[in-house]
């Protein structure tokens, strides 16, 4: 037993089988540089799946067998998943865990939101937001949707090496820049590794409602989970999930919006060339007249070809061109270089 500020605390109180409780309540020191990393490591190495969770999961399956018009489907995470990364936490990062059992799950609201996003953005011809089919399935301001999306529970012992939670790292390479300071990113910035938890395993997807609408919802959700992914860091490959009954393939059925071709620009001497300075490890160009006006540099849009950008003490010329789709294209050229007709 230890005496801490007049209170006697049993060291065994820190041994808990609930990962959610451990993350919320048992960080050792808030100002210690290693305490958050240690907390993540402890959750992974010391907390196993609670025995009571398997019994709870079986009861849930028995209820679904009697209730659902279409059988639930298992869904396997291909790699890692980070749902709830930005939620409130004692760490900089968080993860969605069942409050009672401390295991990861996918909220039904996240599944419905993903399916609705996919339908109106990638199946627009038949599933646009104003289409009756979209309103019937997902609902509108006047009525609720006809299909219920339940929380997807973790299937016991389905995680990698039978473990649902694993340690992970986000590395912030330019902390001052991303923190809102007026300090552009540079090669000499000191990276800040941030520990967080990610999830693995299979999850039980449960949709309920009229059979034909549930079948359509599963089809849309299957495409969305595999092609878009769910949760955070999907652009890095997190959150890709394969629904049972579908094969893993690059040719997985996917209706993508037809993208407009990007126009090819030919630099012109008639553009509005402005004087600027190169900053931030040669990643940005800033106006000499207005220090708040700065733009990222595209390495493929520097002229002449082969020109090496100077340091911030020497000027360059830059031009900002607005494309037909509204995007801006930034070109940088050598200060003394003359563009011929």
Give the domain ranges of the chain: 9-243, 274-334
**Does the pLDDT at position 284 exceed 80?**
no
pLDDT at site 289? 81
Residue 146 has phi, psi (to 5 degrees) of: -85, -5
Residue (of 46, 216, 82) closest to 146 by Cα position: 216
Run of H or E residues at 223: helix 211-227
pLDDT at site 223? 92
CA dist 155 → 37, 119, 164 (Å): 27, 27, 9
**Does the pLDDT at position 120 exceed 50?**
yes
β 284-287/274-279 pair status: antiparallel
For residue 268, name the pLDDT band (cuts at 50, 70, 90): confident
Q: In Å, how far from its chain's centre is CA 331?
A: 31
Structure tokens at 219: 């089809």
Average confidence (pLDDT) over 310-337: 81
pLDDT at site 28? 62
Residue (of 98, 109, 55, 112) closest to 199 by Cα position: 98
For residues 233-256, one letter each, b for 16 or more C-beta atoms within 10 angstroms of the residue's C-beta and e for the rest, the string is bbeeebbbbbbeebeeeeeeeeee
Average confidence (pLDDT) over 261-282: 75
* Contact assessment for residue 147 and residue 208, using Cβ atoms and an 8 Å cutoff: yes
**Does the pLDDT at position 53 exceed 70?**
yes
pLDDT at site 3? 45
CA dist 128 → 162, 175, 217, 279, 321 (Å): 41, 40, 15, 44, 33
Q: Can you list the positions of beta strands (E) in the chain? A: 2-4, 7-9, 73-77, 105-106, 148-149, 152-154, 165-172, 192-199, 202-205, 207-208, 241-243, 274-279, 284-287, 294-296, 302-303, 315-322, 328-334
pLDDT at site 321? 83
**Does the pLDDT at position 7 exceed 70?**
no
Q: Whose structure tokens read 């955070």?
A: 232
Q: Whose structure tokens read 């996917």?
A: 254
Q: Give 130-161 pLDDT, tens digit per residue.
A: 889 999 999 998 889 999 999 999 999 999 99
Average confidence (pLDDT) over 275-301: 79
Q: Give 20-39 pLDDT, tens digit per residue.
A: 877 777 666 655 667 777 77
Mean pLDDT rounded to a whole number for the chain = 82
The answer to whether the peptide bond before residue 238 is cis (omega within 30 degrees of 0) is no
pLDDT at site 258? 43
For residue 200, name the pLDDT band (cuts at 50, 70, 90): very high
For residue 286, name the pLDDT band (cuts at 50, 70, 90): confident
For residue 10, name the pLDDT band (cuts at 50, 70, 90): very low
């Amino acid at each position: 037993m230890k005496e801490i500020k007049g209170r006697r605390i049993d060291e065994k109180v820190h041994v808990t089988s609930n990962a959610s409780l451990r993350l919320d309540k048992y960080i050792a020191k808030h100002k210690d540089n290693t305490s958050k990393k240690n907390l993540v490591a402890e959750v992974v190495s010391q907390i196993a799946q609670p025995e009571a969770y398997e019994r709870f999961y079986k009861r849930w399956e028995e209820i679904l067998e009697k209730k659902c018009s279409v059988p639930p489907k298992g869904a396997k995470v291909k790699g890692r998943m980070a749902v709830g990364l930005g939620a409130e936490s004692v760490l900089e990062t968080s993860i969605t865990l069942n409050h009672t059992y401390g295991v990861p799950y996918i909220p039904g609201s996240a599944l419905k939101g993903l399916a609705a996003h996919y339908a109106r953005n990638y199946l627009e011809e038949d599933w646009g937001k104003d289409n009756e089919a979209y309103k019937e399935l997902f609902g509108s301001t006047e009525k609720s949707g006809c299909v219920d999306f339940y929380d997807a529970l973790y299937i016991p012992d389905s995680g990698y090496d039978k473990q649902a939670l694993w340690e992970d790292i986000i590395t912030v390479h330019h902390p001052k820049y991303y923190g809102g300071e007026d300090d552009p990113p540079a090669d000499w910035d000191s990276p800040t590794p941030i520990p967080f938890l990610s999830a693995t395993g299979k999850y039980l997807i449960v949709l309920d409602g009229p059979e034909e609408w549930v079948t359509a919802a599963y089809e849309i959700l299957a495409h969305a989970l595999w092609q878009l992914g769910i949760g955070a860091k999907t652009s890095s490959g997190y959150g890709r999930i394969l629904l049972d009954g579908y094969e893993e393939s690059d040719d997985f059925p996917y209706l993508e919006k037809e993208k407009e071709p990007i126009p090819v620009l030919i630099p012109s001497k008639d553009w509005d060339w402005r004087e600027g300075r190169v900053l931030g490890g040669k990643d940005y160009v800033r106006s000499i007249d207005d220090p708040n006006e700065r733009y990222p540099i595209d390495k493929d849009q520097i002229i002449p070809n082969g020109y090496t950008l100077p340091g911030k003490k020497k000027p360059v010329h830059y031009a900002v061109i607005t494309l037909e789709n509204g995007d801006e294209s930034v070109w940088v050229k050598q200060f003394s270089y003359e563009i011929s007709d």
